[in-house]
Amino acid sequence: FMTAKEEDILTSKSLLKEGLALDRMLQNILVDTNIKVSELLIGDKNALLVGARRTGYGPIYETKVTCPSCNTTDDFSFDISSPEVNDFEQNIDSSDTTTLTDQNTVVVKLPMTEVVVECRFLTGADELRLAKTAERKARKSKEENMSTDTMRAYIVSVNGDPSPLMKEALIQNIPARDARFLRKAYAAVVPNIDMTQVYECPNCTYTADMEVPLDIDFFWPE
Distances (CA, A) of 165 to 25, 40, 185, 215: 38, 28, 23, 35
Decide: 60 and 79 in contact? Cβ < 8 Å: yes
Considering only CA atoms, which of 45, 4, 12 is closest in space to residue 27?
45
* 3-state secondary structure (DSSP) of residue 192: coil
Considering only CA atoms, which of 51, 190, 181 is closest in space to residue 110?
181
pLDDT for 20-48, tens place per residue? 888 999 999 999 999 999 999 999 999 99
Quote the DSSP letter at residue 142. Answer: P
Decide: 125 and 39 in contact? Cβ < 8 Å: yes
What mean pLDDT is predicted for residues 192-219? 84
Considering only CA atoms, which of 53, 35, 31, 17 is closest in space to residue 124?
35
What mean pLDDT is predicted for residues 186-190? 91
Considering only CA atoms, which of 56, 68, 27 is closest in space to residue 200?
68
Q: What is the pLDDT of residue 143?
A: 76
Q: What is the pLDDT of residue 114?
A: 95
pLDDT for 73-102, tens place per residue? 888 888 999 888 988 888 888 888 899 999
Cross-strand bridge partners of residue 204: none
Provide DSSP, 98-117.
EEE-TTS-EEEE-TTT--EE
In this structure, which amino acid lies at residue 40?
A: L
pTM value is: 0.83
Q: How confident is the model at residue 120 (pLDDT cuts 50, 70, 90)?
A: very high
In this structure, which amino acid lies at residue 42?
A: I
Of the listed ranges 6-10, 30-34, 101-105, 213-217, the one predicted with least confidence: 213-217
pLDDT for 133-170, tens place per residue? 888 888 887 777 888 999 999 999 999 999 999 999 99
Q: What is the pLDDT of residue 62?
A: 85
Q: What is the pLDDT of residue 93?
A: 86
